[in-house]
Amino acid sequence: MGYRRPATPDSLLVWQVAVDDSQRGRGLAGKMLDALFERATSTGVRYLDTTITPDNDASIRLFTSFAKRWDATLERSEFLAAAEFPEPHEPEDLFRVGPLNASAD
């Protein structure tokens, strides 16, 4: 699931990547991201943005490998501190991948 923000039309915020437990470990999440951005880059999207909690190693690996496949830079910065959530929650870091100029290998 993603969202193209009107204020930044060259960026697509990926909100959720979900793969059924029975299908995990087969590279499907990466293939879904590649397919999504293959289409999105043809409409002017050049950046993937997402937020990830620091303890979510699987998502960090997913977006790190996406950046490598697309030969793009991955920048990680603080986004939301734990105290900014109304209920207990890990902080969220912003990951930005780009620029995305060509299809993944």
Closest CA to 38 of 104, 105, 94, 83: 104
> Could you read off the pLDDT of 41-59 as tens digits, one per residue?
999 999 999 999 999 999 9
Statement: residue 104 has pLDDT above 80: no
Would you list the domain boundaries of the chain? 2-98
CB burial of residue 49 (10 Å; 0-12, 13-18, 19+): buried
H/E stretch holding 63: helix 57-69
Indicate the SS3 state at residue 71. Answer: coil
Q: How far apart are CA 30 and CA 66, in angstroms?
A: 7
Residue reference for tokens 């959720």: 16
Q: Which CATH number fits domain 2-98: 3.40.630.30, 3.40.190.10, 1.10.10.60, 3.30.200.20?
A: 3.40.630.30
Statement: residue 102 has pLDDT above 70: no
**Per-residue confidence (pLDDT) for residue 47, from 0 to 100:** 97
> Could you read off the pLDDT of 66-101 as tens digits, one per residue?
999 999 999 999 998 888 899 999 999 999 999 998
